[in-house]
Amino acid sequence: MTMPHTVTLFDQELKAVAGRVSEMGGLTEAMLSDAVSALTRMDKDLARRVVAQDKRVDALQFEVEEQAILIIARRQPVAQDLRDVIAAMRISNDLERVGDLAKNIAKRVIAIDGTFDSKKFALGVEHMTELTQAQLKDVLDAYANRDEETAVSVRERDDEVDAIYTSIFRELLTYMMEDPRQISICAHLLFCAKNIERIGDHATNIAENVIYMATGVQPMDDRQKQDETGVVAEPSS
Amino acid sequence: MTMPHTVTLFDQELKAVAGRVSEMGGLTEAMLSDAVSALTRMDKDLARRVVAQDKRVDALQFEVEEQAILIIARRQPVAQDLRDVIAAMRISNDLERVGDLAKNIAKRVIAIDGTFDSKKFALGVEHMTELTQAQLKDVLDAYANRDEETAVSVRERDDEVDAIYTSIFRELLTYMMEDPRQISICAHLLFCAKNIERIGDHATNIAENVIYMATGVQPMDDRQKQDETGVVAEPSS
């Protein structure tokens, strides 16, 4: 088990798993970007392409899980190696959800009947998406580079996304009140905004697993990561 | 490693992890039930108790993860034992989310200003909750008894929950259109209904992990588990 040749093979296996996780990361980043472009432009063709891409993300997650379990069973990793395998499984789980959430935005774009013409909404969603994408990108770089410091900074940035989400939530309710014909479309947009906010939460989870990988400290589950519209986002009216 | 004494200790460790998972299951079942009671009765005190309970669920998940990783590192389990440990980690992850979703319903109950008087909505939500709770209860029993057959049946029952969710979604949009003063409260109720539907998805995930534990077949990630309001739930108006 400790012969150089075997260790090299083992290292290759670990790298293969990490490579698949990174591939998932790249795909889900693109899905988020495309889903939001499809949303702000009401581009149903692009939305359909996003939906189709999710199969690849699911397949990759399946492979990560299979390989990780095989590594645990055959190689019986401990310490850093075991943390790497556990972190890969957890991160792939979060990325699979990111893909699902992006796909759900795309499905809503396909379903929405009519147009919703609000520059303010589009700007808000785009801004929230930029922040979330930056979180995803940074945390995936942090994963590839075992960069604990960046992971900590990603974890701390989630509040800003939550604040924009809360403001979009209020704004959509106002649109609904002003024009009841917009209620159906705005309900879909509420869920789209919520999905982006959830993607930010998953970036935070991933950050915690990068920290775990680097330090062995388990993510503490004092999750204040859900949106607080349950508490604060009552519209003023 | 194969001496009887050690094996017995190992078995005890595995049982301790499974016991914590079952405890999480019982807690989250109660949280769902209480959160929905709080919602239909607008009982803010009960809602506050649900919010408080989530800390215990999070703490249990933390313990399951820690113990599972320790078992992998120290005992180097293979085959059935490894599947048990992996399944416990995954199931505890789903149950932690169930707790979060129930807590989010409770937080919305605390935040909602005013009352929403619809027998039809209350009945729909209660019916959806009953089905979801039955799913949770059955899948937790299936976990405790390694009962693959029941797990398969839980997985197949998710469509019914999704159908009720879609009908509640449409109904809430109709209320919003009829009375714009109800828009804010109905937006919260949309998310509450969505949360219950998501809990059904997590019950399905848990079912897949019980099947994995029993058979070694990895959950296939062809997840059609998200709601399809993105596709079908356009209100008729």
CATH at B109: 1.20.58.220
Identify the CA nearest to A22 among candidates A159, A153, A186, A142: A142
pLDDT surpasses 50 at B223: no
Provide the token pair at B103.
Answer: 């807590």
Q: Residue A158's pLDDT band (boundaries 50, 70, 90)? A: confident
Cβ-Cβ contacts under 8 Å, A108 against chain B: 229-230
Q: B122 lies in a domain?
A: yes
The pLDDT score that the predictor gives to residue A114 is 84
Q: B233 lies in a domain?
A: no
Q: How many residues does chain B have?
A: 237
Segment 161-180 of chain B within 8 Å of chain A by CB = 169, 172-173, 176-177, 180
Q: Look up the domain containing A96 and give its range.
A: 4-215
Q: B148 lies in a domain?
A: yes
A108, A176, A228 ranked by CB distance to B183: nearest: A176
Q: Residue B21's pLDDT band (boundaries 50, 70, 90)? A: very high
DSSP A78-116: -HHHHHHHHHHHHHHHHHHHHHHHHHHHHHHHHH--S--
> How many angstroms away from the CA of A214 is the closest CA of chain B?
16
pLDDT surpasses 50 at B220: yes
CB contact under 8 A, B69 and A62: no
Q: Residue B5's pLDDT band (boundaries 50, 70, 90)? A: low
Identify the CA nearest to B83 among candidates B211, B222, B223: B211
| Cα gap B237→B174, rounded to integer Å | 8
B78, B110, B176 ranked by CB distance to A183: nearest: B176
CB contact under 8 A, A104 and B226: yes
pLDDT digits (tens, 9 = 90+) for A61-76: 999 999 999 999 999 9
User: Is the CB of residue B94 less than 8 Å away from at least one CB of chain A?
Assistant: no
B73, B187, B230 ranked by CB distance to A107: nearest: B230
pLDDT digits (tens, 9 = 90+) for A178-225: 999 999 999 999 999 999 999 999 999 999 999 999 999 887 644 444
Provide the token pair at B163.
Answer: 């159908």
Region A86-113 average pLDDT:
97
Q: Residue A33's pLDDT band (boundaries 50, 70, 90)? A: very high
Q: B221 lies in a domain?
A: no
| Cα gap A20→A41, rounded to integer Å | 31
Q: B225 lies in a domain?
A: no
pLDDT digits (tens, 9 = 90+) for A135-156: 999 999 999 999 999 999 999 8
The pLDDT score that the predictor gives to residue B219 is 78
ipTM score assigned to the predicted complex = 0.89
A20-29, A137-146, A211-220, B84-93: the lowest-pLDDT one:
A211-220
A62, A111, A180 ranked by CB distance to B221: nearest: A62
Domain count along chain A: 1
Burial A23-53 (b: 16+ CB within 10 A, else e): bbbebbbebbbbbbbbbbeebeebbeebbeb
Q: A220 lies in a domain?
A: no
The pLDDT score that the predictor gives to residue B108 is 97
CB contact under 8 A, B79 and A96: no
CB contact under 8 A, A62 and B231: no
> How many angstroms away from the CA of A171 is the closest CA of chain B?
11
pLDDT surpasses 80 at B225: no
Whole-number average pLDDT of chain B: 90
Helix (H, G, I), strand (E, B) or coil at B171: helix
User: Are the C-beta atoms of B205 and B94 separated by less than 8 Å?
Assistant: yes
Q: A97 lies in a domain?
A: yes
Q: A227 lies in a domain?
A: no
> How many angstroms away from the CA of A220 is the closest CA of chain B?
7
Higher pLDDT, residue A38 or A218? A38
The pLDDT score that the predictor gives to residue A3 is 54
pLDDT digits (tens, 9 = 90+) for B175-212: 999 999 999 999 999 999 999 999 999 999 999 999 99
The pLDDT score that the predictor gives to residue B63 is 96
